[in-house]
Homo-oligomer: A and B are copies of this chain.
Amino acid sequence: MASDGFRPLDEKLLVEYLKATPILAEKLGNQFDKLEIKEVGDGNLNFVYIVISPSGSFVIKQALPYIRCIGESWPMTKERAYFEVTTLKEHGRLCPDHVPEVYHFDRLMCLIGMRYIEPPHIILRKGLIAGIEYPLLAEHISDYIAKTLFYTSLLYLTTMDHKRAVAEFCGNVELCRLTEQVVFSDPYKVSEHNRWTSPYLDSDAEAVREDNILKLEIAELKSKFCERAQALIHGDLHTGSVMVTGDSTQVIDPEFGFYGPMGFDIGAFVGNLILAYFAQDGHAVAGNDRKPYKVWILKTITETWNLFYKKFTALWDEHKDGLGEAYLPAIYNNPDVQLLVKQKYMKELFHDTLGFGAAKMIRRIVGVAHVEDFESIKDAKKRADCERKALNFAKNLLKERKNYQSINEVVSAMEQLDSQKLSI
């Protein structure tokens, strides 16, 4: 055991730990002979164990002091577990239907015990690759983002509560810095971490690194990410951070949580749906051209934003006479001005969403961490064609985001680009 009380668990040590931890032992009925333990950390960062017994189950997640998918050569504070559990608890309080319950947190061990999100839940990204429709996805995710973002913003909080929370989450700086690097920096420069489908996308990757206008726009977004403490965001809300069934949607892994720009979360989700859309042609097979599925993805993108808009502004209306200090009722005291400020706020948020969404797309094609949506397309030429469409769409979206007036226009632009013959 290290002098700070931390030791990385393996399966054997995990069982010892469970025996010594009453709240977890009780969940297992204090029976340890029929335990089923599976290590399933297929994410990029942590070790995750599923623990199942006849009397109960949970997940144990432990942060190690480096990035798992890269190894000990890329150190990363294990304190991220604290910010993950703090965000899980706060988001869970605000939106219990879509956030797993936390049972236990051990700060020294950087270890979280939480609900096991049982089968048939699967990672949404895998469902999107398999072509499965989730009719309630937009409804659920819009619920999650509307509630978590609204209730942690100055639309609802006092300045006192807001600044206190902002200060605490400044502590998650190493994870913020990781995002700054992999989302806002590496794709736009030569970096040993970058990769892409070579040789097909060599010139596309180079074009990103030489596009001054793109660099101008990404700088604006990076500055918002670094400086604007708008709400407690998940910080990594891609389709790999969501688990789904036909009637359940659970958001996991908020270790990047901090007070940042709301559009970063909405954009992460929408951007990853756009990636899923452009990956579909790579998954088409004889007898399943994925065309109806692509229509469903477009519908889900549209509904996610529109339902978010509706729910978020409804929360605003509901609490407009509350303690939130952004728009005091004595000032914003007539329907005209209330409408004006709401339209302005939501318009900026929409453009932030498109910008951050585009940034998250670009980094998944020419940056360090790619997405299974594309990686699972075995034919490299075909994969590159799909990725190029997504990349071109993202570049345009990043540059032109402020000219889009509605999500319908975005979806139309996707269809239009998708229908064009590729020109290299």
Contacts and interface: CB of A to CB of B under 8 A. Distances in A.
A216 B170 contact: no
A321 interface: no
A420 interface: no
A38 interface: no
Contact of A212 (B166, B213, B229, B340): B340
A363 B170 CA distance: 32
A230 interface: yes
Interface in A143-183: 154, 159-160, 162-164, 166-168, 170-171, 173-174, 176-177, 180
A222 interface: yes
Nearest to A259: B227
B170 A163 contact: yes
Given A228-B228, A344-B220, A331 B215 contact: yes
A189 B328 contact: yes
A336 interface: yes
A328 B218 CA distance: 12
Contacts of A167: 166-168, 170-171
A332 interface: yes
Contact of A176 (B159, B180, B332): B159
Interface in A192-235: 212-213, 215-216, 219-220, 222-223, 226-230
B341 A215 contact: yes
A163 to B, nearest CB: 4
Dominant SS among interface residues on chain A: helix
A166 to B, nearest CB: 6
A188 interface: yes
Given A167-B170, A222-B326, A344-B220, A332 B229 contact: no
Contacts of A326: 219, 222-223, 226
Given A216-B337, A227-B230, A229-B227, A325 B164 contact: no
A256 to B, nearest CB: 14
B173 A170 contact: no
A350 to B, nearest CB: 16
Contacts of A189: 328, 330-331, 333
A241 interface: no
A333 B189 CA distance: 9
A323 to B, nearest CB: 12
Interface in A251-308: none
A173 B160 contact: yes
Interface string A32-55: 000000000000000000000000
A320 to B, nearest CB: 13
Given A215-B331, A226-B326, A344-B216, A164 B170 contact: yes
18 contacts: A154-B223, A154-B226, A159-B173, A159-B177, A159-B180, A159-B226, A160-B174, A160-B177, A167-B171, A189-B331, A190-B330, A212-B334, A213-B340, A216-B344, A219-B332, A219-B341, A223-B326, A228-B228
Q: Which 9 A-B pairs have the closest CB atoms?
A: A167-B170, A189-B330, A212-B337, A163-B173, A167-B167, A163-B170, A189-B331, A188-B331, A159-B177
Interface of A: 154, 159-160, 162-164, 166-168, 170-171, 173-174, 176-177, 180, 185, 188-190, 212-213, 215-216, 219-220, 222-223, 226-230, 325-328, 330-334, 336-337, 340-341, 344
